[in-house]
Amino acid sequence: MEDKSPGQLIEEARAEVEEISVDEAYRLSLNDVPPIFLDIREPEQVAAGYIKNAVFVRGDEVEMHARHLLPDEEAPMLLYCGEGVRSLFTALTLKEMGYKNVRTLAGGLKAWIEAGYEIQSDSLLTREQLNHYSRQIILKEVGIEGQKKLLAAKVLLVGAGGLGSPSGLYLAASGVGTLGIADCDRVAVSNLNRQVIHAYDNVGERKVASALEALRRANPEVNLIGIDERIRPDNVLETVSGYDIVLDGSDNFATKYLLNDACYFAGKPYVYGGATRFEGQASLFHPAGGGPCLRCIWPTPPIDGLVPT
């Protein structure tokens, strides 16, 4: 059988996939419910500019991520690439997967720009950042806008223990811009089974120093701030004031209630966490956003001794 030329393959794809003009695509983008603009280009191309509100997934990864990103097979979507060719083949893949309303942008982003339509570019995100965070940027719940928010966010993490370890590592890895970590303890051997931010070599060190070392390894671009002291009534308000949100991984009710109270007065969201044995509790308290605070539900800390930590 004779191999088909690239031109023949493109023509065959065009026969299967509907292409629409950039003018029509622009008109659709203004609808109350616009189609999903799916940008299938490489991260470095995306960095140079993209259509507003686009969802990103590399063309060669569309089979892997489509079911999560695009759960509705009926939803109208408009694929685009640089010049409108690769998107044809990705559209074919999506149609074979069962997506019923797939079209492509004729001429791709090049035609869109030449027609004078606006693109967005992200001076905040470098090519390296787009690559680093690409697996979460492709999630529609995050996207480039979400990543920019993460990079600008200032998070205070209290406790570098069982809750603080994974929380801190994930926050740093995901690209939170500033991460403060507070603890006043030293690393003990018995911590290591669960406090995974610390390693055997860190036993005896201050937990904050050990955590900062691990967080720096996880993501050197995060602005890390170590707070090697206990959170107390006389320093809590000043400590939380420099952050957007407080994540509580402390191991005692006194600190938890102190953080709740400080966040209440400072108008900051307070993320509660508590764990014992195989059970855990997590909750977001944000009275300034209209919700309750911890004391609205539990007015006072439980009596010592009734709850093992």
Partner 1 sequence: MKVTVEFLSLPLITQPLGKKKIEIEFKGSTLADLARELGSTIKRAKDVLLNGDGAIDHDIQIYINGASQVQGEERQSKVLGEGDAITFMMLVAGG
Question: Residues interacting with partner 1, by CB under 8 A?
Answer: 159, 161-164, 248-253, 256, 273-277, 279-281, 297-303, 306-309
Question: What does each C-alpha distance from 232 to 36, 80, 136, 137, 258 come to in angstroms?
Answer: 49, 54, 36, 38, 8
Task: Report, in Å, the least distance between residue 178 CB and partner 1.
Answer: 22
* Cβ-based nearer residue to partner 1, 162 or 180: 162
Report the alpha-carbon distance of residue 85 to residue 89 in Å, rounded: 7
Element of type H or E holding 266: helix 253-266
d(CA 181, CA 166): 12
Q: Provide the minimum distance between the beta carbon of 84 and partner 1 in the complex, in angstroms, as a whole number.
A: 51
Q: How far is the CB of 277 from partner 1 (least distance, A)?
A: 6
Nearer to partner 1, 222 or 247 (CB): 247
242/292 with CB nearer partner 1: 292
Distance CA 185, CA 198 (A): 12
**Residue 137 C-alpha from the chain's centroid:** 7
Our CB check for partner 1 shows the closer of 38 and 294 to be: 294
Task: Tell me whether residue 84 or residue 226 sits nearer to partner 1 (CB atom).
Answer: 226
Tell me 206's DSSP state. Answer: B
CA distance 294 to 207: 27
| Closest distance of CB 238 from partner 1, Å | 22
Distance of alpha carbon 255 from alpha carbon 185, whole angstroms: 14
243 C-beta neighbours (distance < 10 Å), count: 21
* Minimum CB–partner distance for residue 252 and partner 1 (Å): 6
- Contact between 281 and 260 under an 8 Å Cβ cutoff? The reply is no
Number of CB atoms found within 10 A of residue 105's CB:
27
Nearer to partner 1 by Cβ, of 267 and 291: the residue is 291
31: left (phi over 0), alpha (psi -120 to 50) or beta: beta
CA distances from 76 to 16, 45, 163, 213 (A): 16, 24, 42, 47
Burial pattern 262-273, b for ≥16 Cβ within 10 A else e, equals bbbebebbbbbb
Minimal distance in Å, beta carbon 11 to partner 1? Answer: 58
- Measured from the CB atom, the residue of 38 and 236 that comes closer to partner 1 is 236
Q: Would you say 190 or 281 has its CB closer to partner 1?
A: 281
CB of 255 to partner 1, least distance (A): 9
Q: Minimum CB separation from partner 1 for residue 284, in Å?
A: 15
Per the CB < 8 A criterion, the answer to whether 265 and 240 are in contact is no
